[in-house]
Structure 1
Amino acid sequence: MSLFQNIIVIIALITCAGFLSLSEIALAGARKIKLKLLDEAGDERAGRVLRLQENSADFFAASQIGLNAIAILGGILGEAAFRPYLVQLVERYYTGAWAQTIGFTLSFTLVTSLFILFADLMPKRMAMIAPERIAISVIKPIGVFITICKPLAWLINAFANLIFRLLKINTTRDDNITFDDISAIVDAGAQAGVLQQQEHHFIENVFELEERTVPSSMTTRENVVYFTLKESEHSIRQKIAEYPYSKFLVCNEQIDQVIGYVDTKDILVKIMNNQSFIQLNESTIRNVLIIPDSLTLSELLDRFRATKEKIAVVMNEYALVVGVITLSDIMITVMGDWVSPMEEEQQIIKRDENSWLIEGTTPIEDIKHALNIEDFPEWENYETIAGFMMYRLRKIPRPADFVEHEGFKFEVVDIDHYKIDQLLVTKMPVQLNQEQDQDQ
């Protein structure tokens, strides 16, 4: 064949190899979620791609047969086509014994470079740009190619499967989507600008419902306002007027003797109808949901949904009330400062760029968000920053006790009856230097 004919054949081989490379990456990289959406929208080609992904052995075997055959044939034709001309070019400047070898090396390099650039690198990069769109475009011709190569592909796969069994390698692909996968998708969406900052914040908080336990969002025992059975009408009126709550616990004599709860709406209806009540009774007291403090917020949401309740009393393993939690508390956890900015400002007060005043009852998750801390050690052993301090210090803290973690110094500044009331958190010099280096 003439040089022109050889060039035409090589171009055709490069085109075929490029098509196989493009198809291989597109079919392997096409995301199942998008393909399922396209299939449900009526594009039957997406369904064929999904079926091919589930049984991809035949395709990969056929693809490798085609790519290797084309590469070998292209090398043979390219070397025969270009070597004489390159040898002549070399002999214009060098006529020694190495002229033939140099010409062969140049022709080999030229053909290999053409195949790498146009049959491998560029098609694969193109396939990664829009794998789903390309996959559904090439699925029909690829199906024909697989059918042609199926006998040889079956034989190659049989040998491959035998080797995998001998080596005890599991070739089953795990396509289950994990929490980490979803979290990574959300982070990628936020970085790409698909999700707004507040949307990203909400989704992250929803994910945390699976990990955060009830005590991280409840109203603690010492802050619970409740009525007793013998509470006077004047006292009840005063508490309703003073505290902006819609529901109050009713206890026998102390908080650990919970009987139920009252809805202020029921009491206000009586007041508006000029009905006087001397004490709480069965007509106003409702049954209250009792839950253990080991439940996660996600599990509590299921309980609320099943019981149609919106308030629950949290008890520990000793049957002592440790707090109260409502559906609104869970919503505040999800919405953050979009719902209760005043509350968060009271718990975490930023004094300047490098220091914060933080209440001891502040949940660890809120500390992580406010200070941009990745994690706390063995966080399952505590819920609040006060718990973290006690866990690390291994004692009841005193003022001026401190703990260092992730470039921050956590120092106790106020104690109220052995309870950590406030901490001063400051960035340590090493952390400051690292942030300055990143800014530069």
Structure 2
Amino acid sequence: MLYLDLGIVAILIVINGLLAMSELAIVSSRPSRLAGLVGKRVKGARRALTLASDPGKFLSTVQIGITLIGVASGAFSGATLGLRLASWLVEAGLSQGVAETVGVGVVVAVITYASLIIGELVPKQIALRDPEAVAVRVAPAMVLLAKVSLPLVWLLDRSGKVLLWLLGHREKADDRVSEDEIRTLVAEAETAGVLEPGEKEMIAGVMRLGDLAVGAVMTPRHEVDSINLADTPAQIVANLLDSEHSRLVVFDGDSEGAIGVVNAKNLLDVYLADQKPKFRDLVREAPIIPESLDARDVVTILRDAPVHMGLVHDEYGVFQGVVTSADILEAIVGSFSTKDGPAEPAAVKRDDGLYLISGWMPAVEAAHLLEISLPLSRPYETFAGFLLQEFGRIPNVGDSIEDEGWRFEIADLDGRRIDKVLASRLEAA
């Protein structure tokens, strides 16, 4: 009889462990991974996905089993094994009261320890290591258990929802994945070696495109080479020869609105054919892009356009700059080197802990670097624009301002444009 009693208790503990493992595996499984297993026709994946989509009923089912096993295990151990040990202690010479107390206490302590190790900790560790694999294996048994205990599960599920409603939780939990969670997963994947070096930065760059307006990635107007059809042919050719770019923006008298682009190669073909160029016939139409458009949407426009260069105009129709597919790529992977040397970094952390930040750095990237917040609606796209907004004027070299726990000092100006800024963190009060 002793071995039978021990066997019953052991079976109850193992069943409790299986239920605990099933509970954590189903709850921890990601629906996207389960959906992928369903697509691969893995046995039990569809049932696991069904259980994960309605955790309330599933948790009620598991909790019923765990509670019943816990009650049965406690009562059985005290009523049988505890009293049996107490009788042995009485025969060994202890008094009846002391023997019962010691006997029941020892049995409860041993069973509690076994329940924690075998019935809780180890099964849950197994479930956490590969929740989806465990979930697809236990799902058929959990579905069967849910059908058997359906009436009681329905009662518990309804009771739980009523209590949640009374406590003020009347809206369904938001299961959407946030950008911060995606960044955390990407960082974990890089640490685990799933992502190659540099892929994390590229993924972060792609995610930033949705937060950047086209004004943050475009080449501004004062840096754009152009020609004007109202100029003399000699002046147009001189502008083409002075430019280092293969494509130039074209104006037709009005310097506020661009009409297209001209490719220097097309002009060279005309001269090689010993013909006189007709500049107006060489102009190619380019897409007009609003300045407020997201950089992510520009990708689609440039991909479908015959010329992979967009002419950026503001809401008044005034030309502001150009954006190319190379600008979008640089926003993702960083600036490319030029003939003058390596590309200038947007921000550099010095040995003294200060950041030397370029004014052209996108405000979103600077905010992420310094861990500061930006308003959702803002009239600027660069870090220089952020500082101009804070100063309320064009600052001079050496001027500083404190904001968001940082001290920003103007280190260099390029004319009236903020070129370099020193950022130092303020000591906490």
Corresponding residue number in structure 1 for 2:266: 266
Tell me the CA shift for residue 310 of structure 1: 1.6
Tell me the CA shift for residue 265 of structure 1: 2.6
Contact persistence 2:348–2:355 (CA under 8 A): yes
What is the distance in 2 between the residues matched to 1:390 and 1:111?
69
Contact persistence 2:247–2:264 (CA under 8 A): yes
Which sits farther off after the overlay, 81-90 or 283-292?
81-90
Tell me the CA shift for residue 179 of structure 1: 3.5
The DSSP-based 3-state class of the residue aligned with 1:268 is: helix
Contact persistence 1:348–1:356 (CA under 8 A): no
Quick one: structure 1 residues 347 and 236, their matched pair in 2 at CA, closer, same or farther if it must change by over 3 Å? Answer: farther
Quick one: structure 1 residues 193 and 97, their matched pair in 2 at CA, closer, same or farther if it must change by over 3 Å? Answer: same
The DSSP-based 3-state class of the residue aligned with 2:317 is: coil
What is the distance in 1 between the residues matched to 2:27 and 2:245?
56
Contact persistence 2:219–2:322 (CA under 8 A): yes
1:62 counterpart letter in structure 2: T
What is the distance in 2 between the residues matched to 1:365 and 1:343?
26
What is the distance in 2 between the residues matched to 1:87 and 1:343?
87
CA RMSD, aligned part only? 3.1
1:16 counterpart letter in structure 2: I
The DSSP-based 3-state class of the residue aligned with 2:51 is: helix
Matched, 1:299 2:267: no
Contact persistence 1:79–1:107 (CA under 8 A): yes
Quick one: structure 1 residues 68 and 350, their matched pair in 2 at CA, closer, same or farther if it must change by over 3 Å? Answer: closer
Contact persistence 1:228–1:251 (CA under 8 A): yes
Unpaired segments ≥5 residues, structure 1: 432-440
Corresponding residue number in structure 1 for 2:28: 29
Contact persistence 1:410–1:423 (CA under 8 A): no
Matched, 1:239 2:239: yes
Quick one: structure 1 residues 295 and 76, their matched pair in 2 at CA, closer, same or farther if it must change by over 3 Å? Answer: same
Contact persistence 2:350–2:356 (CA under 8 A): no
- With the length of structure 1 as denominator, give the TM-score of the two structures: 0.85
Tell me the CA shift for residue 314 of structure 1: 1.8
Tell me the CA shift for residue 374 of structure 1: 2.2
What is the distance in 2 between the residues matched to 1:339 and 1:182?
30
Match of 2:318 among 309, 317, 320: 320
Corresponding residue number in structure 1 for 2:135: 135
What is the distance in 2 between the residues matched to 1:342 and 1:141?
68
What is the distance in 2 between the residues matched to 1:72 and 1:125?
24
Corresponding residue number in structure 2 for 1:438: none
What is the distance in 2 between the residues matched to 1:349 and 1:47?
49
Contact persistence 1:261–1:285 (CA under 8 A): yes
Contact persistence 2:359–2:421 (CA under 8 A): no
Quick one: structure 1 residues 229 and 190, their matched pair in 2 at CA, closer, same or farther if it must change by over 3 Å? Answer: same
Corresponding residue number in structure 2 for 1:6: 5
State the identity %: 25
Corresponding residue number in structure 2 for 1:396: 394
What is the distance in 1 between the residues matched to 2:128 and 2:349?
48
- Structure 2 counterparts to residues 270-349 of structure 1, below 5 A: 270-277=270-277, 280-281=279-280, 283-337=281-335, 345-346=343-344, 348=346
Matched, 1:373 2:370: yes
Corresponding residue number in structure 2 for 1:255: 255
Tell me the CA shift for residue 350 of structure 1: 4.8
Aligned residue pairs total: 425
Matched, 1:117 2:114: no
Unpaired segments ≥5 residues, structure 2: none
Quick one: structure 1 residues 89 and 315, their matched pair in 2 at CA, closer, same or farther if it must change by over 3 Å? Answer: farther
- With the length of structure 2 as denominator, give the TM-score of the two structures: 0.87
Contact persistence 1:45–1:136 (CA under 8 A): yes
